Structure 1
Amino acid sequence: MQCSKLSIIKFVIAFKSFLQEVRGIAGAVFAVLLTILVTSSLIRMLGAAASDRADSELVVPLVAFAALQALPVVLALTVYLSVLLALTRAWKDSEMVVWMSSGLSLGQWLRPVARFVWPFALAMVALTFFVSPWAQQQLDETRLEFSQRPEDQRLDAGRFMESRSGQIVFFGEMAFDTEKRLGLVFIRAQSAGQESVILASKGEIQSQEEGGGAWLFLAKGTRSDFNAIDLETRQLAFESYRVFLDRSPVQKETPPSLRANNLFELAQRSGLGDLGAASEISYRLGLCFICLLMPVFAIAASVTSPRLGRSLHIIFGVVSFMFVMNFLALNKALIFEGKISADWGWVSTPLLIIAVTSFLFWWRSRFRATPMSLMFSLRISRGDRRRKKGAPT
């Protein structure tokens, strides 16, 4: 009885120490991954704003929505890397050897790992099926609203803007004030084999009450015309000039994105035979299973020799996660094309993880070493034998 109590105390100490360490690592890993995600989203949104595909005033909300949309993948990678790094550190410092010699088997680490993972798994379900689709819906609505804005409202300082016809490009040096005035204005127009370049020192937008349009009045500038057919060039100076801006809203019929549908909407569409909805459900279920099963895979994958470098296991962990994500994306594409069933698509990913994890646990219990550490020990033993053969008798 006393021995049993000592064993329980050892297990409690080991598990409590592990949970404290892995939670600290999870916070650091999540902060790093979230910073990378926000930075990449910010760069992408700034590029879209510079190319007149997004509103420069809505860059921050767009970045927030993009980060929420990609947060499930970040959360799954955070949970997996946290367990892998914590256990790899314990093996490198020979801490796991002490716990193993005290009677704590590798399979008993499933309990503290499950205790660490289950809150993230619940958050993963909420993010994958509800929060992420809502963020994608907000992104789609914001982009659609910007594309339907009138041309005079899309003009912004320091940014080129193309007209709806695609034949006129505007550029204003200064931002609008309350009177809708511009500084230096550049306009490039194409029509019927002729290209025109207009430069003006200032401009002003005046709305037209009838006709649903607006005029851009320019002052003190030049216009250069080049005829591509006759190869003639003409240049003239003007004191005043005006360009018509279309203010009528554009009605675009864009189909709703599958990523913007929540679980209930996808289930309804999948019941009607929509392969796209079935593939999206399979992908989201696969993400939840990855968040739940990859930390278990990390228990067996973390087993290493203190002689091996720690970076090798980190590289192995990232590569294995990328492989699983690519496998999940491949299943999604095959379901969408109708080459495999939706049931097999979402089952295959967890089955693959379970099979590889079971093999690693079996390898550890049978050979007491991982393949990498076994190869390393074989090299050392061969080197020792060679030195013994070369030594004088």
Structure 2
Amino acid sequence: MLFDTSVRRELARTFGATMVVIVTIVMTMFLVRMLGQAARGQVAPQDVMLLMGYVALSELPTVLALSLFAAVVVTIGRMYRDSEMAIWFAAGIGLSRFVRPVLRTAWPVLVVIALLVVFARPWSQRTSADLREQFEQRSDLSRVAPGVFQSSRDGSRVFFIESHSERDADARNVFVLNSRGDRESVTTALAGRLESEGERRYLVLDHGQQNDTRLDSGVMTMARFERYRMLVSERAAQRAQERPPREQWTHELLRDPQPRQQGELAWRIGLLFGAGNLLLLAVGLSASDPRRPGNWNLVFALLGFVVYYNLISLMQAWVAGGRVGLGVAVFGLHGTVFALALALIWWRENAAVATLRLWRRGG
């Protein structure tokens, strides 16, 4: 049918353009955040692009849902402004008739969202967490890039190395500034390496000197050494810890009825149900007055998107805190939004029919 074909073609074109814009904005935000974390020593600089890809993959369901939602609002809203909707209404096609081409266009994207939520999102979360954990388990010295001053995680030490060997634990021309209370020491050495004893790691320096200063009295001492060992205060191998719910597979969440796992499950189900409900909301919220300048319906629609997803997050917190059950959170919220979306479409359609009848009587 001409109606379905024209609506689906325009929806697909608008969805593609909208998704490109949103993905560009989101990736730029993630890049800035990852570069800031790398500058603060929280992530490895060589892992920035990889981590950004994992984070983007975990947020892709929300991006796809928002792109679909905006595409429907923009497409049908343009038809209202260009008076195409008046023609469709006069031909006997109501607003509810737009639901079918919208769903036929969006169902492949909804399937992709479901796959991302069930499989890709937990995988990207746990892979990203593993990368961060591996970087945290490395010593402060091994995290230093040659020629760059780097602070330790607790801020008590500042490291600088001129170069390092292919082994991560070895370095040449090492500089260490250590501040502890009223004492400040500067240690330099020709070479440094890491040694492990049980769960402790030591920085072993060869052929250097240490200048120690008492900040309260100003007394300075200097000592030369052939070999000096410094506790780095890190574990050689971190014990395996239980993964948080966001990093667990969906089938693991289903087997574990704990509140935190149920809360994460409510969030994943909410992402899928929310994407479907947003399509119906977009059809109802896209109606606008052709005589009114601007695109205020898109502003109100985006506000509704933000409110809806905040409610999904709120339900996740309530389920994780044991305040409500999983069924109440999922069916209560999304069932209510589904009913409101249908009521909004019915109200918009009947208002349009009444306006059309008045126009015909006036003519």
Residues 228-243 of structure 1 aligned to structure 2 (within 5 Å): 228=216, 231-234=217-220
The alpha-carbon distance between structure 1 residues 195 and 360, as it changes in their structure 2 partners (threshold 3 A), is: same
Aligned to 2:230: 244
Q: Partner residue of 2:78?
A: 89
* Contact 1:187–1:197 (Cα < 8 Å) also in 2: yes
- Using structure 2 for the length normalisation, give the TM-score: 0.85
Q: How does 1:33-48 map to 2 (within 5 A)?
A: 33-48=22-37
Are 1:322 and 2:315 matched, yes or no? no
Decide which moves more: 112-121 or 233-242. 233-242
CA deviations on 1:271-309 (whole Å, 9 max, x unpaired) are xxx011111111111111111121111111111111223
Task: Give the deviation of 1:234 after TM superposition.
Answer: 2.4
Percent identity of equivalent pairs: 25
Counterparts in 2 of 1:122 and 1:325: CA distance versus 1, 3 Å: same
Does structure 1 conserve the Cα–Cα contact (< 8 Å) formed by 2:204 and 2:227?
Answer: no
Which 10-residue stretch deviates more, 119-128 or 310-319?
310-319
Tell me what 2:94 maps to. Answer: 105
Supply the AA of the counterpart residue of 1:358.
L
* Counterparts in 2 of 1:150 and 1:292: CA distance versus 1, 3 Å: same
> Which residue of 229, 251, 256 maps to 2:243?
256
For the 8 Å contact 1:226–1:233, the answer to whether it is kept is yes
AA aligned opposite 1:234: M
Correspondence for 1:281: 265
Select 2:214's aligned residue among 216, 226, 243.
226
**Aligned partners of 1:209 and 1:148: how far apart in 2?**
13
Distance 1:44 1:182, change over 3 A: farther
Q: Which region of structure 1 is more displaced relative to structure 2, 124-133 or 251-260?
A: 251-260
Counterpart check, 1:335 vs 2:322: no
Residue 40 of structure 1 and its aligned partner are, at CA, apart by 1.9
Indicate the residue corresponding to 1:376 in structure 2: none
Aligned equivalents of 1:312, 1:175: Cα separation in 2: 58
Q: Over residues 327-349 of structure 1, what are the superposed CA-to-partner deviations in whole Å (9 max), with x where a residue is unaligned?
A: 11111111111111211101122
Alignment of 1:349-364 (within 5 A): 349-364=333-348
Residues 237/306 of structure 1: CA separation in 2 closer, same or farther (3 Å cut): farther
- Go from structure 1 to structure 2 and tell me whether the alpha carbon gap of 1:161 and 1:249 turns closer, same or farther (over 3 Å shift): farther
* 1:256 aligned partner, one-letter code: R
C-alpha contact 2:202 2:229 (8 A) present in aligned 1: no
| Map of 2:296 onto structure 1 | 312
Select the residue among 158, 167, 176 that pairs with 2:164.
Answer: 176
Q: Which amino acid aligns with 2:218?
A: E
Change (3 A) 1:85 1:159: farther
Question: Do the aligned partners of 2:94 and 2:349 also contact (CA within 8 Å) in 1?
Answer: no
CA distance in 1, matches of 2:231, 2:182: 21
Q: Which residue of 2 is the match for residue 71 of structure 1?
A: 60
The residue matched to 1:368 in structure 2 has which SS? helix
How far apart, CA to CA, are the structure 2 residues paired with 1:187 and 1:214? 11
The one-letter amino acid of 1:232's match is G
Given that 1:225 and 1:235 are in contact with CA atoms closer than 8 Å, whether structure 2 keeps it comes out as yes
Residues 260 and 276 of structure 1: is their aligned pair in 2 closer, same or farther, counting only changes over 3 Å? same
In the other structure, the counterpart of 1:149 is 138
Secondary structure of the equivalent of 1:204? strand
Q: By how many angstroms is 1:107 displaced?
A: 1.0
Equivalent residue number for residue 160 of structure 1: 150
Once residues 196 and 108 of structure 2 are traced to their aligned partners in structure 1, the CA distance between those partners, rounded to angstroms, is: 58
Residue by residue over 1:204-258, the C-alpha shift from the partner in whole angstroms, topping out at 9 and shown as x without a partner, is 3345699964424576x88361333xx3242759798956364861424543011
Q: Counterparts of 1:40 and 1:225 in 2: how far apart (Å)? A: 44
* In the alignment, structure 1 residue 139 sits paired with structure 2 residue 128: yes
Compared CA separation, residues 245 and 96, structure 1 to 2 (3 A): same
Aligned equivalents of 2:100, 2:307: Cα separation in 1: 26
| Equivalent position of 2:359 in the other structure | none
Residue 68 to residue 209, structure 1, CA distance change in 2 (3 Å): closer
The answer to whether the Cα contact below 8 Å between 2:110 and 2:272 also exists between their aligned partners in 1 is yes
SS at match of 2:236: coil
The answer (yes or no) to whether the contact 2:156–2:180 under 8 Å persists in 1 is yes
| Mapped contact 1:205–1:217 kept (Cα < 8 A) | yes
C-alpha distance in structure 2 between counterparts of 1:175 and 1:96, whole Å: 69
CA distance in 1, matches of 2:306, 2:122: 23
Q: Is the 8 A contact 1:208 1:215 kept in 2?
A: yes
Contact 2:284-2:345 within 8 A present in 1 as well:
yes
CA distance in 2, matches of 1:14, 1:316: 27
SS of residue matched to 2:142: helix
Contact 1:136/1:260, CA 8 A, preserved across alignment: yes
Seen in structure 2, the aligned counterparts of structure 1 residues 292 and 46 have a Cα distance that, compared at 3 Å, is: same
- Segments of 5+ residues of structure 2 without an aligned counterpart are 356-363
Partner residue in 1 for 2:358: none
The aligned amino acid for 1:205 is G
Larger mean Cα displacement after TM superposition, 185-194 or 289-298: 185-194
Amino acid at match of 1:313: N
The Cα offsets for residues 44-97 of structure 1, whole Å up to 9 and x where unpaired, read as 222222222211111111111111111111111111111111111111111111
Tell me which amino acid in the other structure corresponds to 1:257: P
